[in-house]
Structures are given as C-alpha cells and as structure tokens.
Amino acid sequence: MYQNQWLDIVLIAGFAQGLFLCFVLWKKERANRQAVQYLVAALGLLSLLMVGRATFQPSFVQQFATVIMLPDVILFLGGPLIYFFILSLLRQELPSRPGIYLHYLPAVFHVVVINTTVGLNLNGTWSFMTIREVLVIMFIIEAAAIASFLTYFMLSFRAWRRYREAYYQKYAAPFLGRFLRPFFILAFSLVGAWVVGFAYNYSMERPDYIAYVIVWFLLAALIYFLAYQVYGHPELLELPQLREENTGPAVEVSPDWISQLARFMGEEKPYLDPEVKIGALADALGLPKHELSKVINHGFGKNFFDFINGYRIREFIALQQNPRNGHLNILELAYQAGFNSKSAFNRAFRKEMGQSPSMYLKNQIQTASYTQRQ
C-alpha cells in the first residue's frame, strides 16, 4: 500500500473535518432527517476509513490480518448510502423493507466471508490460498467495488434527472438541486480514475497503489462536497415532494382576498424582487402563509412560482414596449422584471406565453409592420 507523509496529514485533517461535519449536520433542526442520516452515515464511514488509511503500517499486516481489510467495507456501503441520500434529498421513495437490506448484502459478505478468509490466510492460520490467489481475490473485490459505485451513481443520476424534469414541468423557478450536476461529474470522474488505476495495477507484476491517491482524494471530495452543500444551503433539505396535481373538488376562496392580492401585486410589485418568498408576501398582506397559498392555488389557479412569474412576464412585456427601453436587450429587461437568470426567464416565458421570448418579439415586430402597411 502506498505510503506518503503528506497524504497521511491530509487524511488526518479530513478525518477531523468529517467528524465536525457529522456533528453540525446531525444537529440541524429544520432538516430532511432521512437525508441527513444517510449523509452522516456515509461521511462517518469515510472519516473512519481515512484515519484507518493514515494510520496503516505494513508491519501490522501479519498481526492484524483478519481486520486489515475491514475499512474497505465502505467500498460496498458508499454506493448505497449515497444513492439513498440522493433519493431522500429528492423526496423520493426508498426501496421497501426487507428489500432495502439487499443493498447491504455485498458489504456483509465482504466482512463475514472475504475479509475473514483473506485475513486468516495472510496471518498463516489458514494456508489453502497462495499469495497470488489472495491478490486475485483483492482484484475481484476491487472490480466489484467499482461496479457497485458505478451502478449506484447511475441510479442516482437517473433519479435526479427524472426529478429535475418533473420539477421544471411544475415550476418555472430555479432548481435548487442543480448543485448535483457537478457532483455527478465528480462521481463519474472518480470511477474513471479508479478504472484507469485498476487496469494499470492489473497489468503490473506487483500492484502499485500510487494511482489510488487520486481515487482517495476524489472519494473524499465527493462526499465532502455533498456535506458542505447541505451545510451551507439548508434549503436543499426542503426540496418539494413532487406529486400529481390534486384533482379533487375546488376550494372556495374569499373574493376579497383575491382582489386584495391582485391590487397589492399591481401597486407594490413585490415580484420585482428576485428573491421574493411566499412567507414575506404573506407577512406583507397580514395573511397566514397557508391561507395565501390557498388563495394563489385556487383563486388564480397557479402555484406560487408561476403566479409570481406571470407578473414578471407582463412586466417584461410592458418594459419592452416602452420606447425608453429601446437600448436594453432581452436579458436586461428580464432582470429588470425580477428574473435572476436567463434560463429561468426562458422557461417561465415559454410556460406563460406558449412560445419563446425571441419568437414572441419576432411576431410582435411582424404584427406591427403589417399594421403600419395597412
């Protein structure tokens, strides 16, 4: 196994940092507890693996051969824990019991069978395996671990894509879960580096573990990336559960509240604030948040994001038709109307108007030109 003083220092620092993150994440009160539990489990296991790797000494192999591979259990637990964290974060159903326990069987088999068999042969208690056969088993373990991580990363990526598509169909607001895109880039990069290192070692007479330094850093970066994103952006733990729209009987809403909300929107224009929240709007109206949500959903037939963006689209059109704004381009007008990104504006405009902003403006120009010729 590759030994390096600087790598060990980094691993010890990572272990301490991992314990800190586990503590602060676990203490979060307003949180998706299920997602936090899986993230803390993955982070805690990684931290233990890092300190085990940093304190590893080749001279201990014979004496502690039966436990020397025990930390490698994370190779078969990391994938399921990350996958279950992603599902929990996206408010999707986890496999039901007892089916969920099947995902942990490779880890149990590794600890109970593989680790014991290899360890007892290494310390001489058993002697039915040669060193070469032990190395073959280790290569098989590693190949299985790579396959496990790749499978769970692909399952996580598929779940994320489906959720993102459903989210954009329901909301025109920015998708908070977009931070997972760089996570998946990092995850598949880890698998790629791991495969290269594995192929390199397999082609050598004696394994050389220098290539795995990259894998160590990428694996640590992967889980710490998730932990810091959740720690720094607690709203990620409040992603909505996307259900089918309620087709039940309509809820009666006071006409006074509908007119008061419409008047407030027209006079105060709270939608010009890119960060406007339904709670702040409810406070300004002196209305409980759930009551305002009911007014918007059943009085206007929209969710909050589409309701706000509808006003922003009309503001954009009014700004675009004002000759004083002729020097501003589409994106500058969209920002003035309250949007905070080009992609959010384009999605909201297409959803509200049924066509892209450029197509709408082109049709407006053609209509004006035709009217002038008449």
Contacts of 6 (CB under 8 A, 6+ apart): none
Q: Report the C-alpha gap between 130 and 365 in whole angstroms.
A: 81
pLDDT computed for residue 57 by the predictor: 53
Convert 204-255 into a string of H (helix), E (strand) and C (coil): CCCCCHHHHHHHHHHHHHHHHHHHHHHHHCHHHHHCCCCCCCCCCCCCCCCH
Q: Decide if 357 contacts 351 (C-beta within 8 A).
A: no
Highest mean pLDDT: which range of 25-34, 105-114, 152-161: 152-161
| pLDDT (tens digit per residue) in 334-372 | 999 999 888 888 888 888 888 888 888 888 777 666 566
pLDDT computed for residue 247 by the predictor: 43
The mean per-residue pLDDT over the stretch 190-214 comes to 77
123 shares its domain with 73: yes
Token pair, residue 175, equals: 């998708």
Residue 291 lies in a domain: yes
Question: Of residues 184 and 7, which shows the higher confidence score?
Answer: 184
When the pLDDT of each residue in the chain is averaged and rounded to a whole number, the result is: 81
- Of 4-18, 52-66, 175-189, 335-349, the one with minimum mean pLDDT is 52-66
Q: Can you count the helices (H) and strands (E) in the chain?
A: 15, 0
The mean per-residue pLDDT over the stretch 199-222 comes to 73
Residue 244 lies in a domain: no
Token pair, residue 319, equals: 């700004």
87: pLDDT strictly greater than 50:
yes
209 shares its domain with 175: yes
Residue 245 lies in a domain: no
Give the Cα-Cα-Cα angle 120, 124, 125 (nearest 5 degrees). Answer: 55
Kindly give the interhelix angle for 180-202 and 131-170, rounded to the nearest 10 degrees: 160
184 shares its domain with 215: yes
157 shares its domain with 22: yes
Amino acid at 278: I
61: pLDDT strictly greater than 50:
no
pLDDT computed for residue 306 by the predictor: 87
| Nearest Cα to Cα of residue 55 among 118, 112, 5, 116 | 5
Confidence of residue 223 (pLDDT cuts 50, 70, 90): confident
Question: Of residues 33 and 218, which shows the higher confidence score?
Answer: 33
Confidence of residue 246 (pLDDT cuts 50, 70, 90): very low
Burial of 185 (0-12, 13-18, 19+ CB in 10 A): exposed
14: pLDDT strictly greater than 50:
yes
122: pLDDT strictly greater than 70:
no
214 shares its domain with 83: yes
pLDDT computed for residue 369 by the predictor: 63
270 shares its domain with 212: no
- Domain extent at residue 347: 255-373
12 shares its domain with 156: yes
What is the SS3 assignment for 296? helix
Contacts of 1 (CB under 8 A, 6+ apart): 56, 58, 209
pLDDT computed for residue 96 by the predictor: 84
133 shares its domain with 216: yes
- Given 179, 207, 238, which residue is the final one in a domain? 238
38: pLDDT strictly greater than 70:
yes
309 shares its domain with 354: yes
Q: What is the CATH number of the domain that holds 337?
A: 1.10.10.60
Confidence of residue 266 (pLDDT cuts 50, 70, 90): very high
Domain count, the chain: 2
Residue 246 lies in a domain: no
Residue 47 lies in a domain: yes
Residue 202 lies in a domain: yes
Residue identified by tokens 């998946």 is 184
Q: What is the CATH number of the domain that holds 192?
A: 1.20.1070
Residue 250 lies in a domain: no
- Given 174, 209, 238, which residue is the final one in a domain? 238
The mean per-residue pLDDT over the stretch 285-299 comes to 88
179 shares its domain with 279: no
What is the SS3 assignment for 63? coil
- Of 148-152, 227-231, 308-312, the one with minimum mean pLDDT is 227-231
- Given 182, 213, 238, which residue is the final one in a domain? 238
268 shares its domain with 233: no
Burial of 21 (0-12, 13-18, 19+ CB in 10 A): buried
pLDDT computed for residue 84 by the predictor: 95
Evaluate if pTM is beyond 0.75.
no
Residue 248 lies in a domain: no
The mean per-residue pLDDT over the stretch 183-199 comes to 89
320: pLDDT strictly greater than 70:
yes
150 shares its domain with 295: no
Kindly give the interhelix angle for 33-54 and 5-26, rounded to the nearest 10 degrees: 160
